[in-house]
Amino acid sequence: MTPTSADRHETPRRWPWRVALASVLVMLLTVLIGTQRWSQREDRVLTDANAEAAAALTPSLVLRRGGAYTAKDAMRGDDRIVLSTPGGDQRTVFTAPRIQTYVADDRWVVVAAASQTDTATTLTAVDRAAVEADPAGVHAGDAHTVALALPTPGTVIGLAVHGDLVTATFTPLDLAQESHQTLVWRLEEATDVSDGTTGGPSPSPSSSTSAGAAQADATLVTMPDGTAALADLVLFTRDGRFLLLRQADSTLVRLPLPDAVAGDAGYDAAEREALPLGAADDVTGWSATGELMVTDASGGWLLVDVGSGARQRLDASLPAGVPADARLVSLWPTTTGAVAVYARVGDAGIRQEVWGLGVDGATRLAAVDGEDAITGVCPAPDGRLVAVTTRADGSADDGYVLDAGPLVFTTTVLPVDQPVAVGDLPGRLPEWCQTFQRVPVTAA
């Protein structure tokens, strides 16, 4: 701190003492705030196994928005999909004015962007290898992108990707048309429309598509009786041979791919029938043994065998070590067990706690004050790390229709069995759990 002219009459020896005191007060305040928000995260050294997992972590895509959805001021930047490692450099790989959501796998990044003039959605598939090698990033319409044509202007809710296949649930803006249609695209069949004629037809006036260097046309998914398959959430089975749809009554059904995109799937007569999979208010992911983890209307957690339709209800009793007053809020499967969020009532109100659950017991990873303080939990594919997104105190939501989140947040990566931060990611929705789009049941 530099004394002003009025300060120069003071005894100079007092200034180091005052500066030191001020520094200590600031440090204590910072520690206090950090303790309130992450009271269980410890500043310890990673175990050797967790250090190896952190070192092996490949760069992850995350979504970083430029501000609130309705913000129109000049300072409001574009939304970005960013490639980064925890605490490392970050690089933008795709930008658009309003990115509603995205899904990604090893081959493609599929982005749902909102029109700035109406509520219509455009879908763009981005060649991942190409954009990760391009330091400038890309926009819709650039090389290495494929526009996913929609039958008519409309909005997308559910979205999923598997290899060269993309699926989405779609509602036309024209209310006279049927809502919650399910569409599927095969990207390897995209045609070159860069000049409007070469390699295939140019986009028709009735289609809704972003202007990409190539275009893939949609195929409508139908039930075995020929009627449109209607859903608000859709995902692929792990082998990509079937679609899983959540219908209007919140039940899941398994359907084969339409013949136009099925390739060499080779369905037998039984596989061509719709397989009911029971109720599913939410779908959180795949277990280590290949079952789908879902919740039902009663708040129970189940594992669903998507090959047979068998359902196994999970024992939701508290694991050893978890306090008796904890209430299970959310559960995500991992290859080593699960990650859970529990809520507890304390003197300061509701507190949410993140726990890693494994064969060796339960480990509390973090505790955050506030009933809606934890806005995202995303286990890494190897099951050893998890990304946890927390809302900053008092932060409002960004107002997006899909994947709304806090305007101010922190996404921290931790081991699932040790409350030590590996580092922070510069955005939300890590690609680790982004092969399909989770949709709250109320969205229907």
User: What pLDDT score does 11 carry?
Assistant: 35
Q: Measure the CA–CA gap between 95 and 113, rounded to whole angstroms.
A: 10
User: Residue 304's pLDDT band (boundaries 50, 70, 90)?
Assistant: very high
SS3 for the chain, per residue?
CCCCHHHHHCCCCHHHHHHHHHHHHHHHHHHHHHHHHCCCCCCCCCCHHHHHHHHCCCCEEEEECCCCCCCCCCCCCCEEEEEECCCCCEEEEEEECCEEEEEECCCEEEEEEECCCCCCEEEEEEEHHHHHCCCCCECCCCCCEEEECECCCEEEEEEEEECCEEEEEEEECCCCCCCCEEEEEEHHHCEECCCCCCCCCCCCCCCECCCCCEEECCEECECCCCCECECCEEEECCCCCEEEEECCCCEEEEEECCHHHHCCCCCCCCCCCCEEEEECCEEEEECCCCCEEEECCCCCEEEECCCCCCEEECCCCCCCCCCCCCEEEEEEEECCEEEEEEEEEECCEEEEEEEEEECCEEEEEEEEECCCCEEEEEECCCCCEEEEEEECCCCCECCCCCCCCECCEEEEEEECCCCCCCEEECCECCHHHCCECCCCHHHC
Q: Measure the CA–CA gap between 412 and 425, rounded to whole angstroms.
A: 6
User: What pLDDT score does 146 carry?
Assistant: 93
Q: pLDDT by residue (tens digit) across 411-435?
A: 999 999 999 999 999 999 999 888 8
Please state whether beta strands 233-236 and 242-246 pair in parallel, antiparallel, or not at all (unpaired): antiparallel
Q: pLDDT by residue (tens digit) across 346-355?
A: 887 899 999 9
Q: pLDDT by residue (tens digit) across 24-54?
A: 333 333 333 343 345 445 557 899 999 998 8
Closest among 281, 254, 333 to 438, alpha carbons compared: 281
Give the tokens for residue 408. Answer: 């101010």
**Tell me, what amino acid is at 27?**
M
pLDDT cut 70: percent of the chain above it: 83
Domains with residue ranges and CATH for the chain: 40-443 (2.130.10.120)
Please, is 194 exposed, middle or buried when counting C-beta atoms within 10 Å of its C-beta (0-12, 13-18, 19+)?
A: middle
Between 360 and 41, where is the model more confident?
360
Q: Measure the CA–CA gap between 289 and 114, rounded to whole angstroms.
A: 37
User: Residue 235's pLDDT band (boundaries 50, 70, 90)?
Assistant: very high
